[in-house]
Chains A and B, each alone.
Chain A
């Protein structure tokens, strides 16, 4: 017979998250297109969008950076938010049968989904850099550390909201619709296509509340210090991520047992 190890709590957590992570990979990339599709699809999308953007800008550069790079940061970070948000939220319900194992908690499933999304996006970023090298687009990252921080913050922000919505969806299934409606306008209000600098300043306060916008603009700034991001601040992003994270973890702590026992 097979022995069960006595494990510390931390070990159980890491084992479970690892097991769920492998499961995610297997179910996500089970078809033949698999990984290549996950990379090619956004790349073509970014190419089309940056072509559109360059038509509007009327040149190769947008705010001192290549239009492709400008669009790439916008699209990639928005995608990071959207996919992490939706897969974290749906992970809670999708893995419900697994809560039969007492070791598996909803948050482990969400963390595995987060890990999965971040890794996919990092891979995608690497592939895009590779593509840029061959397309002879200037590769320049002035402040890589900031870029890493901004990406992590955005991922944590998305994770927090995903966890919150995932739990809410167990109580009220209609929250799924609310989530889909909420995410729809994000493409237009997050500065993907136009920088905040392109907007008239009197409207900034309508857009400024959106942390994703801050992340995108600051990421562009981090890549090209000549970009000159205005009206955005890292501390706003940090504080909203912190607030979202604390809120969702508190809600999780209070409600997870109830949520999976319904």
Chain B
């Protein structure tokens, strides 16, 4: 279980503090693949980053004994001057992979970069970069994967592969994802959290959540 304990988060701006969450207490239940639904600016990505420990709340803390991934967005932590292999090793080292060579091989295989894996990432197309970032994340065993629109890139073939990998993952691990593509949410998730006005609400029934998100009645 991931437990949000009194999370208060605001961003300073010219118009004063923009409050995203104010004293938020919430438990994210286990054993669900959860889609995060909310309008633009509702705080989906902020919540994501706080969960992952990429950012910290102004007050309150996250309590969990699960191993969470980093928020996998398009090219998190990828250095353009380093090769795909070096970037992989970097990510592996930071995350404490025991067998880097094995990790390297798996990422190379999954990302389908072939021998371009040894070229600097700046020579990659944006789709290839996203493939690399996604492959790095999916090849590590986490309890919870945080996926931020990262599945919407790549060509049809890679998308299919990523989907299959995610489906496999969701049997042993859990998934929390942000996407504006409702079809994608329906595909991966069985339940959802709707974010509105700095409050979270968990729905066991995904369709119910989607209707609330779309502004329908509860």
User: In the bound complex, how far is the Cα of B24 from the Cα of A249, in angstroms?
Assistant: 31
> What is the number of contacts between chain A and chain B, taking CB atoms within 8 Å?
98
Residues of B within 8 A of A258 (CB): 56, 58
A19: nearest chain-B partner, CB-CB: B93
**Contacting A2 at CB < 8 Å: which of B53, B76, B93, B99?**
B99
Q: Report the Cα distance A27→B142, complex, angstroms.
A: 29
The answer to whether A2 touches B106 (Cβ under 8 A) is: yes
Main secondary structure of the interface of A (DSSP, over half): helix
Interface mask (A2-18 → B, CB under 8 Å = 1, otherwise 0): 11111100011001101
Establish whether residues B56 and A261, one from each chain, have CB atoms under 8 Å apart when the complex forms.
yes
**Within the assembled complex, what's the spacing in Å between the Cα atoms of A103 and B90?**
12
Of B34-42, B79-87, B181-189, the one with at least 4 CB within 8 A of chain A: B79-87
A101 touches B94 (CB 8 A): yes
B contacts with A, residue count (CB < 8 A): 39
Given A15-B94, A15-B96, A19-B94, do A26 and B79 touch, yes or no (CB 8 Å)? yes
Q: Which residues of A contact B98 (CB under 8 A)?
A: 2-5
Q: Is B211 an interface residue (CB 8 A)?
A: no
A-B contact pairs, 16 of them (CB 8 A): A1-B140, A4-B141, A5-B96, A16-B94, A22-B90, A23-B79, A23-B82, A23-B90, A26-B79, A27-B81, A27-B82, A101-B70, A101-B76, A101-B95, A102-B53, A258-B58
List the interface of chain A (C-beta within 8 A of B). 1-7, 11-12, 15-16, 18-19, 22-23, 26-27, 30, 97-104, 257-258, 260-262
Q: Which 4 A-B pairs have the closest CB atoms?
A: A102-B53, A19-B93, A257-B56, A100-B54
